[in-house]
Structure 1
Amino acid sequence: MTDAAAASTSASAADAAATAELGAIPETDLETVRDEFHVLHEIVKRARANLDRNTWDYLRGGTESETTVKRNRLAFDKVAFRPRVLNDMREIDTGGSFLTHKVSLPVLLCPIGSLESFAANGPVQAMRAAAHAGVPLFLSSVGTVPLEDVAKIEGGTKVFCLYKRGDDSWLDDIVARAVDHGYDAFALTVDSAWYSRRERDMANRFVKPWRQVPGMEFQKALNWKDVERFKKTHDIPLILKGIATAEDARLAVEHGADMIYVSNHGGRQLDHGLGALDVLPEVADAVAGRAKIAVDGGVTRGSDIIKARALGADAVGIGRMLCCGLAAGGAAGVVRVLELLEEEVRIDLGLLGLNSFNDIDGRYIAYTDPVEPAHVWSQYPLLAPDDYTY
C-alpha cells in the first residue's frame, strides 16, 4: 500500500469512527455497563481506577478546607422521609420537565469544565448519553470541544453555559452560535468572579490547561446590567447558575431570568458556604413560581433527587457522577448512572406512596441528625477509602 493510500484509509477510518460517535449508543455497550455496574458505587470505583491522580482530585475536590463540599452532602443527609402507605403503587412515573421540555427524570447533567479530561470527546459522549436518557446537558464553555460538535447529536435538550471571557460583542457572537445550532437555553455562570484556591490541585502542582485563557477580567466585571442587556438583546431562555441567596434569587427574577440555578459550584468556589440544599427553600420562597429552579451540589443518590424536588427544585443537577460515568464507560457509563438513579427514584417514590413527582412537597420530609460524617462519597458505604483516595 502506498503512503497516500494508507493515509486515505486512516482518514476514512477516523471519519467512520467520528460518524459512529454521533449516532446512537450501541446496545452492546449498554449491555456491557449493565453487566459490570449493578450499583452506583461500582461506577465511582471504576472511575477512580481509570483516572490519574490530577484528574481524580480535580473531580472530587473543592476549595481550601472543602467545608462547602461536605456541607453539600450534609444538607441531604439531614433530610429524612415521611412515607405514606396504602396507595396503589403499581404505576410510577419518574418523569419531570425542564423549562418547556419533558424529561424522563428531573435531572440535568451539570456544566463541567473540560469533560474531555474524563473521556475522549467527553462533551459529545455526555450529549449522546443525555439524548439517550432524555435529560438535558449543560455544556460548559470551558473546554476544547466546540458547541457546534455537541449540537450534531440529534435529540436531547442542550444548554450552553458561559464564563464571560470577552466583551458584549464576543458574548453576542457565542449566543448567536448557540441559537443557530439549536441550543434550547443559555446559562451564565455568576458565582466565579474570582477563581478559588483549590488546594488538592495546588498540592499536586496541577495547573489545569483549560484555565490558561485570557479574559478573566470580563467575568469579574459581570453584573446585573449584563443580565438586563442579555434579556433585551437575545430571544433564548436565560439561566443564571450560581445563585445562593433569596436576595439574589429575587433580583434574578426581576431581571427576567427564566431559571434560577442554585449552586455553589459543587463546593469549588467559596469555602464555608451553606449546602446548596440548605439554600433551596429560601430561594423557592423568593421565586414564588415566577421562574423555574434547578439545584446541584452533593447529589449522588436517587433519594437526593426526591429531597430536592420536595424542597422546591424543578431539576436536579449531577456533576461528579456525570464525570464518573464518563470515566468508567463513556456515554454508556453515563447512561448507566442515570438508569441506576432512575431505579432508585422509582423505588423510593413507590415506598413514599407517590405515583409521580406531581404530588411531592414538604409534607414528605422531616429534618433529623445525620448518621455518618459527610464527604463526597459518604452515601456509598460499600466504598473503601482506597476506592476513592490516592
Structure 2
Amino acid sequence: MTSNLEERFQTLHEIVKAARQNLEPGPWDYLIGGAETETTLRRNRQALDSIAFRPRVLRDVSRIDCTSALFGRAVRLPVLVAPVGSIETFTPGGGATAAKAAAEFGIPLMLSSVCNPGLEAVAAAADGFRMFQLYVRGDVGWVDDHVRRAVEHGYAAFCLTVDTAVYGRRERDLARRFVKPWRVRATGFDYQAGLTWDHVKRFKDTHAMPLILKGIATAEDAALACDLGVDGLYVSNHGGRQLDHGRGTTEALPEVVAAVGGRATIIVDGGFLRGTDIVKAVALGAAA
C-alpha cells in the first residue's frame, strides 16, 4: 500500500514544484541560488550531465544490492544527507527531522553546525549514523569543545568546512535583503578566515575522532590532507555558493581520487538530483 506522500510525489519535478509553492521568496532563493553569476552552481550540474554511460548488456541484474560502507559502517545506499545550514527554515524540526528521515532510510546524516535544534537534540531524536560538520568560528578550545560534545553524543566523524574563509556574495539573497537568522547573531568570522593546515595537523594530533575536510577541490590539497592523516575528503564547492567561476565538483573529482590513492574516504556533492548521478560519482571513485 502506497503512502499519501508516494501518491503525491512520483517525480522530482513534483517535489520541486511543491517546495517552491510552500516557501517564501527569500528562503527559496537562498535554497536554489549561488554566488555572483552562479557560474559554479551551473557547472555542478553541467559536469554531471557531461558524463555519458557506456551500457553493457546481458548481465544478470535480477537481484540488486545497493548497500555500501562509509567509514567502516554499513549504509543502505552510497548516499548521505549533506549538512544544510538553517534547515529548520525548510522543515519543522530542522536537523532532528532530517536525522529521523536518514535513520529510517538507513543512510548517514551530516549535521550542520548552523542549524537547529543543535547536536545534542539531534542525537536524541534518532539513533542513526551521524556525523557533525563545523564552521570554525572560535579558538582551538572552542573546536575541542565541539569535538567532545560530538563524541559524547555518538557522532561517528567530525567535519571541518574549509572553503568558507569569507562568506560568498550571494546576490539573490542580497536582492531580497534576506539574512538567515543564524547570521544575525554569528561571530568569530576571523577564526574562519585564519584557518590553516596547522589547525588540521593539531586536530589529528589531538583527537582520535575521524576527521573530514569539506571543500577540497584540487589534487594538491587532497595530497596535503592525506599527508596529515585526514580520514575523509569531501569534494565540494559549497553548492556554488562560495567562489564563483570554479569547476563543477564532478569535474574535480577524478584528480582528487587519483591524488588520494585510497588513503582516505571520498565524498562529493554539488548538483546531484538522481540515482544516475550517484552512479557516476561512485564510478569515479567517491564512496558517497
**Following TM superposition, by how much is the alpha carbon of 1:74 offset from its aligned partner in structure 2, in angstroms?**
0.1
One-letter amino acid of the counterpart of residue 189, structure 2:
M
Separation (CA, whole Å) in 1 of partners of 2:118 and 2:252: 33
- Quote the residue 2:61 is aligned against: 89
Matching of residue 47 in structure 1 with residue 19 in structure 2: yes
Q: Deviations over 1:223-265 (max 9, x none)?
A: 1111111111111110000000000000011111101100000
Aligned to 1:382: none
Opposite residue 263 of structure 2, the aligned amino acid is R
Which residue of 1 is the match for residue 255 of structure 2?
Answer: 282
Q: 2:74 aligns with which of 78, 102, 121?
A: 102
Q: CA deviation at 1:144?
A: 3.2
* Residue of structure 1 in register with 2:141 after alignment: 169
SS at match of 2:69: strand
**Match among 222, 234, 241 for residue 195 of structure 2:** 222
Given residue 38 of structure 1, which amino acid in structure 2 is its aligned partner?
Q
Q: Which residue of 2 aligns with 1:184?
A: 156
Which residue in 1 is equivalent to 2:100? 128
SS in 2 for 1:160: strand
The aligned residue for residue 271 of structure 1 is 244
Which one-letter code corresponds to 1:127 in the other structure? A
Tell me the CA shift for residue 205 of structure 1: 1.0
Letter in 2 for 1:276: T
CA contact (8 A) 2:33 2:172 kept: yes
| Equivalent pair of 2:94/2:115 in contact (CA under 8 Å) | no
Q: Confirm whether residue 253 of structure 1 aligns to residue 226 of structure 2.
A: yes
Could you tell me how far apart the structure 1 residues matched to 2:11 and 2:155 are? 33
Tell me how far apart the structure 2 counterparts of residues 215 and 155 of structure 1 sit (CA, whole Å): 31
Kindly state the Cα deviation for residue 143 of structure 1 after the two structures are TM-superposed. Answer: 2.1
Mapped to 2, the partners of 1:178 and 1:32 lie a distance apart of 36
- For residue 313 of structure 1, report the CA deviation from its aligned partner: 0.5
- The answer to whether structure 1 residue 141 and structure 2 residue 117 are counterparts is no
* Partner residue of 1:206 out of 166, 169, 178: 178
Give the superposition deviation at 1:35: 1.4
Q: In 2, Cα distance between the equivalents of 1:122 and 1:143?
A: 7
What amino acid sits opposite 1:51 in the alignment? L
Query: Which runs of 5 or more structure 1 residues have no equivalent in the other structure?
Result: 1-26, 316-390
CA contact (8 A) 2:95 2:116 kept: no
Match of residue 111, structure 1, among 66, 79, 83: 83
In the TM superposition, what are the counterparts of 1:346-365 in structure 2 within 5 Å? none
SS at match of 1:152: helix
Larger radius of gyration: 1
- Partner AA of 1:285 in structure 2: A
Corresponding residue number in structure 2 for 1:342: none
How many residues are matched?
A: 287
Task: Report the CA distance between 1:120 and its aligned residue.
Answer: 1.4
* Cα distance in 1, alignment partners of residues 64 and 19 from structure 2: 31
Q: Distance in 1 between matches of 2:179 and 2:59?
A: 55
1:58 matched to 2:58: no
Matched AA of 1:262? V
Moved over 6 A (4+): none
Q: Paired residue for 1:3?
A: none
- Give the C-alpha shift of residue 73 in structure 1: 0.2
Q: CA deviation at 1:88?
A: 1.1
RMSD of Structure 2 on Structure 1 (CA):
1.1
Shift of 1:208: 1.7
Q: Percent identity over the alignment?
A: 58
C-alpha distance in 2 between matches for 1:282 and 1:92: 30
String of CA shifts for 1:324-359, please: whole Å, max 9, x gaps: xxxxxxxxxxxxxxxxxxxxxxxxxxxxxxxxxxxx
Moved more, 35-44 or 188-197: 35-44
